[in-house]
Structure 1
Amino acid sequence: MRSGTASRNLVSYAADWSVWTGYQHPGEAGQWPHLDQLYASPAIDLVAIDNYLPLSDWTTGTGGLDASNWSAPAPTTWPPTAATMNGLGLSGPPMLASLAYLKANIEGGEKYNWFYADSTNLGPGPDPLGSGLTVSRPSGDRANQIRTPYAAGQQLLAPKMLRWWWNNAHQAVYDAGDGQGWVPRGASSKWVPQSRSITFTEYGFPTCDRCTNQPNVFYDPKSTESFTPYWSAWDPAAGGRLAPRRDDTLAALGLQAVYEYWVVDGKNAASPAGLKMVEPAFMAAWNWDARPFPTFPLLGSVWGDAANWRVGNWLGGKGPALPPPAADAPPAPGGPYPGFPTLAGRGWSTRYRPAFATTVAGHVSGRESRATRRSQPTWEIEMTFDVLRMDVIADLQALVGFFGRMRGRATPFTVPVPTYLGQGSSLLCRFAEDAIAPEQFMARLWELRSLKLVSVPA
């Protein structure tokens, strides 16, 4: 790290997300902040976490409790009551691939407002909710979505409580048998509030279905520790096997949620001395492999983990294909046609090709007679792109969102065209394939790096 003109190395220890606030001793009914002595050491510069905290609890079917409590008010006090702990305070239709939903669970939801007292991932099997899918089955309280709210004084037990943890002194939390239950007891640890920044030495998501439900698990069929997240779907594969269902979109959206929440959205904090609560300079998304894509993963004979790339945490060679923003209201009947989005980062090549329609009549003699069916041709427009930006310019989101709004509608849209076509400054068009789902459109857009439009009569 460079400070002024001096450079120095920073020293830390990357604790797992599940134990960074302390190790829970079930037999002794307590949790001790055992790493606080390390964090308080003058030899340690950062509180480092491998941050694989869950950002969703989305079941099969309609989505479960999060979907049904989507618009219910979010808790305004902590600890929440049993009546308020499930509220998310979100607008629009409930959906897992929602940036707002994932952000709401960074300082909310599981491991913040509530927890599951009993939860084991049983691996692939028939969906206990009866969807007919094969899913990674949760057990116990999670299978039935029986949630338990945290109680007063139990902030140390909630690993998403970064803000409270950073701003406060810590005590062990345990049950002394006096009827008070798990509450803070004893002397404070050596942690000095606001003395070290927190950073995420790892954060990321496997590229599989419902990856934000349980981002700390990894699929590796050669390992006994191979799992996919709770409720994630599996599909039939060659040889009568099962393979995890892939989802690049949700993994990319989870990365975006964590980064934007702490770096862009103003949720970070600082001490009076200017020390940041979360230091983004050392936040590291897991992972961008040094092995070049597509050599890895194609050379499976060289690298033993190549088969895990498809649904693993690798970013190279995948998407991202982010879901569209909330749809605008459809155009009013008789109103002006919507326009193809203006993409600020567009550096595309575009090909225009006229298509004529002719009626052909065959005769007994073998001769054919032809007649023009339209006086003016229709046009096929193919746009080929080099890059679609998805940062603050959000070209990709705008394009996919526009497709989602226009697919299946009778109303066409206007597309600017060069005047040398002789068609004026614009054409009325539709997407060449407007019956496919937005997810298919995103996949084809990313795979082919092009899209096609067809003009329609004015």
Structure 2
Amino acid sequence: MAKAILGDISIDHQQDMDYVSEHMTAVIMGPGCGEGSLSIRSIEEICKTLPNLEWVGIPVSWFIDSLDISSAKIKPGSEKRRDEIKEDSWLVSSYDRNNAHAIARKNSYDPSTIRYGGTMPDEEVLKFVNALKEQGKKVAFYPFLMVDNESKDWRGYITGSAEQVEMFYTNQYQPFVMHYAFLLRDKVDMFYIGSELEGLTVIKGEERNFPFVNNLCGLAANVRSIVGEKVQISYAANWSEYLHCKGGYRPLDTLWSDQNINFVGIDYYMPLTDVDNQQITLESIKNGFTSSEGWDYFYQDSTQIIIDQDYNRWKNIGYWQSSDHWAWDSEKGESYKTSWIPNSKPIIFSEFGFRSIEMATNTPNVYGSSLPKHSNGSTDFPLQIKAIRATLEHISENPAIQTGFCYVWDARGYGWQNSYVDGHQWAQGHWIDGKLQILQTK
């Protein structure tokens, strides 16, 4: 089956698949939502395909109904309506289908038109985590926010005023994360307190105060008091978020230097190539970690602007990790040293991944119907695996990086593409399941 899907396998592609299968040590299970999406069979498949796998990341989504924190509500989401079922055991925290968020549908009477799958019930999450532990895997947990609006906006667009942050955090965000700290106490080895909340972490209060970042520090302490000292805790920052924000401030340095944060988490979807019709090779992808956009230059509209200082190179994470950090206070017109201590924390790629589409390495962060820069939209399985290999090699060669979690292996199990509405996206998506199984037929 895999050969029929992937076509003839070249020697180079086979070698890349062999390398990825042997060296992949950390993977994120998708899709992060769907009430029956955690299939135990998927664990058997991933263990067979990736024999040296050590870590498995599990995202579980709750839903936010607005990008405006002044009115937004965060709740677990229900796929089904109460009047559509006779008996039901779906429970998440204190929510059942009577008080959970009813995920929007295009046609309210047709369950197949639902915008997202629902939140996995607590019982299913625990069963899946236990099954992974029985296989000897370490588990990383990601509490995940999905925006349930018509455009399915990225969670990084959630924002508001500094005055609104405390109420939003206390009444909405904190209960969401703390539920899983209690549920998964003594069950997981790594716990994220959030991911890619860029619109919240940049909200500035008085002076150099960033209230949501302060809330995340308090949340890390609360989670630590529950899960204990052995569990690694961090936040998964977007690649455009971890370094600095508008005005020259470095808001996340307060979090990165916090005593309850074990490592710097970066969702690494930085552009690694910047080509149109040239062939993309393993070497050119690897070179992209220390060159081109984000290292040598950045784009302002379509104009290349030269970067001539290491502290402005957002790809130079080795320099960032090993150096004192100075920020710029645009209001006062002065620089100041942050609380970051050089070499104090390792970096983990909390996510990295590539679509199997032409020119994927030009713009790894684009999803859905959007095409990577200069892509003609054709399917390219070899490029995806080659890019993953290049990333794994870069991680192994960079002492600042502890490990990286590849996105994504689908937890719905073998053949899910034929049973779910998003199955048609598999061929050109970030999924790696079904794209490495050819190894099993050698």
| Structure with the larger RCO, 1 or 2 (CA within 8 Å, 6+ apart) | 2
Structure 1 length-normalised TM: 0.45
| Structure whose residues are more often helix by fraction | 2
